[in-house]
Amino acid sequence: MPKAIPADSVGLVTPQTRRFSAPLALDCGRTLDEYEVVYETYGELNCDRSNALLICHALSGDHHAAGYHSPDDKKPGWWDSCIGPGKPFDTRRFFVVSLNNLGGCKGSTGPVSLNPATGKPYGPDFPIVTVRDWVRSQKRLGEALGIEQWAAVIGGSLGGMQSLQWAMDYPNGLRHALVIAAAPKLSAQNIAFNEVARQAIMSDPDFHAGHYYEHNVTPRRGLMLARMLGHITYLSDDAMRAKFGRELREGKLGFGFDVEFQVESYLRYQGQSFVERFDANTYLLMTKALDYFDPAAEFDHNLSAALRQAQAGFLVLAFTSDWRFPPVRSREIVRALLDNDHDVSYAEITSHEGHDAFLIPNPRYQALLRAYMERVAVEAGVP
Amino acid sequence: MTQRLPALRPDLEIISEWIAPQSRVLDLGCGDGALLSYLNATREVTGYGLELDEDKIQKCLENKVNVIQSDLDAGLSGYFDADSFDYVILSLTLQAVRYPERLLDEMLHVGSEGIVSFPNFGYWQNRLQIAFGGHMPVSRNLPNDWYNTPNIHLCTLRDFENLCAKKDIVILQRTVVDQAHRTSLGMTLLPNLLGEIALYRFRRKPG
């Protein structure tokens, strides 16, 4: 536990649940008749309701973006470095909303939830949700909270794809979109990594075609492998070298297949701890949402056309060592925004941390966010 | 004008007077975005700045200027279609780019008019330093030594105008000023000798 909760933390937070009973039509053609969304909020909504920020999470994220659930928590929420009093998403000025997306495993309706039609967990029968479906559900959550227009919708990686989708689907639903370490669609290589992760899960004997809850098991090995693979793609070669090099745990070679190199130990630890906190069916869904994201597809694969209706101002950020969604992918987004004469700023932040850099405190990154958020605050009429 | 604006660098002030209200501007090597910010506040001009330096990009964001991090040596066509801007500005940067000729072409590809300013290498003090000092000029406008200068493509007014003639570029306006950005009768009569900084507005020859 932290010795004391830091002064620039939002402090202790309690997740809230909202039930939606109006059916939600999904891109896959199916409908969720009713569903729940779990979210947290930090800061206060102002009288004009003009100061709300929506935080969209990435593949393995959730609603717990900042603060602590209990004084005994070892770690704060996943984006605590950016959300809090005096931080770039300053909770003294902004009302920050962070939710767990549909299909998630942290409380919002997803594969682990009971399917009202069967009384059993959805498991693999949970519909495949898309980024657009998420944005629809986020729009409803905003309305339920009395927010007609977000001061900004913010996300990194898969979260950045959601903020991009927001700007396309609800041009007046937000004033700014922060699209960080994202891409306008996945490359074949990105999809290939996702497919290996899915195969790892689905080929685990404990997967039981997704019905593992009924067998009281989890496909631990598969999910662990998927996470280990993912983790490699989140780090850069440099970051791995700096962190682990070829360091040996025992100081000498063991001529066996046990863990010998520190990097092996690290990956196994990451994989194992992930299994404790994440659901395999959710992981499958999240990777599919990534693979399917391609907003330009229905505009004859013209991203500029897809962004034509957007009204928001954009901040697009990329990290130099990110090879999962490298700067060149962000530049595709920038180019499409420039084609439309939209307000956009773009920076490539020097970092050795790879794709993970969007989650890691970095003075330049934070300064750029802070500078841009000042503009967001002025437009929101926030002192 | 309701808000007080910080003083603009004098060459930028001259350039700003050449820009028609409500036009679209691309500022290459835009620094902290002062020109765009000023043009936006005084002439409702919109557009973008391109900048490579991370500190300056941060300043642009602080100044609420749209800035795109990019390297001018990589060209403009990766980002912009033909005729996207009314003006493309390159202030005190032409001499520091790797491919000045190509950049001029690209300026007039993505914009209708180009505006450049550069330190005049033909300025009499520079000539004296070479002629009698026997070394590359070091001055207020060219403060670096030859081995550490970013200015790799220095030119004189005559050089620039010759290039424009060769490329069918029509010069629409020329101003020559001293370090304090004043002009004088002498500079008007002998610009290539007495002018320290040259400013040009130009376009491609029609047809």
Contact A371 B54 (CB under 8 A): no
Confirm or reject contact between B48 and chain A (CB < 8 A): yes
Burial of A312 (0-12, 13-18, 19+ CB in 10 A): buried
Q: What is the mean pLDDT of residues A354-382?
A: 96
Contact A371 B62 (CB under 8 A): yes
Strands B197-204 and B111-119: antiparallel
- Least CB-CB distance to B57: which of A335, A338, A347? A347
Q: Which one of B30, B66, B85 would you mutate to disrupt binding with A, by most A Cβ within 10 Å of its Cβ?
A: B66
Question: Which residues in chain B have their CB less than 8 angstroms from residue A371's CB?
Answer: 58, 61-62
Confirm or reject contact between B54 and chain A (CB < 8 A): yes
Contact A348 B69 (CB under 8 A): yes
Task: Using the predicted structure, report yes or no on whether residue B4 has a pLDDT greater than 70.
Answer: no
> What are the tens digits of pLDDT across the range B60-84?
999 999 999 999 998 898 899 999 9
Question: Which residues in chain B have their CB less than 8 angstroms from residue A346's CB?
Answer: 67-70
Question: What integer best gives the mean pLDDT of chain B?
Answer: 92
Contact A344 B68 (CB under 8 A): yes
Query: CA of A327: which chain B residue's CA is closest?
Result: B69
Instruction: Please say whether the beta carbons of A220 and A204 come within 8 A.
Output: yes
Task: Report the gap between the CA of A345 and the closest CA in chain B (Å).
Answer: 5
Residue B169 neighbours by CB under 8 Å, 6+ apart: B104, B108, B114, B163, B202, B203, B204, B205
Q: Sign of the CA dihedral A253, A257, A259, A261?
A: positive
Contact B78 A375 (CB under 8 A): no
| Angle at A252 (CA atoms; ends A249, A254), nearest 5 degrees | 90
Residue A128 DSSP code? P
Query: CA of B47: which chain A residue's CA is closest?
Result: A341
CA distance A291 to A186: 6
CA distance A98 to A79: 10
Name the amino acid, one letter, at A310. A
Task: Using the predicted structure, report yes or no on whether residue A53 has a pLDDT greater than 90.
Answer: yes
B1 confidence band (pLDDT: 50, 70, 90)? very low
Task: Using the predicted structure, report yes or no on whether residue A88 has a pLDDT greater than 60.
Answer: yes
Task: Report the gap between the CA of B197 and the closest CA in chain A (Å).
Answer: 31
Question: What integer best gives the mean pLDDT of chain A?
Answer: 96
Q: Looking at residue A3, what is its pLDDT?
A: 64
Name the residues of A annotated as catalytic: 157, 322, 355
Task: Using the predicted structure, report yes or no on whether residue B180 has a pLDDT greater than 80.
Answer: no
> What are the tens digits of pLDDT across the range B20-54?
999 999 999 999 999 999 999 999 999 999 999 99
> What are the tens digits of pLDDT across the range A7-19?
999 999 999 999 9
> What are the tens digits of pLDDT across the range A128-146?
999 999 999 999 999 999 9
Contact A375 B80 (CB under 8 A): no
Contact A371 B24 (CB under 8 A): no
Burial of A49 (0-12, 13-18, 19+ CB in 10 A): middle
* Element spanning A166, H or E: helix A158-169
Residue B131 DSSP code? I
Query: CA of B59: which chain A residue's CA is closest?
Result: A371
| Angle at A273 (CA atoms; ends A162, A240), nearest 5 degrees | 75
Q: Looking at residue B186, what is its pLDDT?
A: 81
Stretch 147-176 of chain B: residues touching chain A, C-beta under 8 Å? none
Share of chain B above pLDDT 90, in %: 80
Residue with tokens 């914009």: B111
Task: Report the gap between the CA of A347 and the closest CA in chain B (Å).
Answer: 5
Share of chain A above pLDDT 70, in %: 99
Confirm or reject contact between B200 and chain A (CB < 8 A): no
CA distance B142 to B131: 17
Instruction: Please say whether the beta carbons of B76 and B104 come within 8 A.
Output: no
Q: What is the mean pLDDT of residues B166-177?
A: 95
Q: What is the pTM of this model?
A: 0.95
Residue A113 neighbours by CB under 8 Å, 6+ apart: A36, A121, A122, A126
Confirm or reject contact between B62 and chain A (CB < 8 A): yes
> What are the tens digits of pLDDT across the range B130-161?
999 999 999 888 899 999 999 999 999 999 99
Among the listed ranges A97-111, A275-289, A298-312, B186-200, which one has the minimum average pLDDT value?
B186-200
Instruction: Please say whether the beta carbons of B142 and B120 come within 8 A.
Output: no
| E strand map for B7-110 | 24-28, 46-51, 67-69, 85-91
SS3 A36: strand
CA distance B157 to A178: 44
Residue with tokens 């598969």: A222
Does the model's ipTM exceed the 0.90 cut? yes
Query: CA of A335: which chain B residue's CA is closest?
Result: B79
| E strand map for A81-220 | 83-84, 89-90, 95-99, 114-115, 120-121, 152-156, 176-180
Confirm or reject contact between A367 and chain B (CB < 8 A): yes
Instruction: Please say whether the beta carbons of A159 and A56 come within 8 A.
Output: yes
Task: Using the predicted structure, report yes or no on whether residue A272 has a pLDDT greater than 60.
Answer: yes
Q: Looking at residue B5, what is its pLDDT?
A: 64
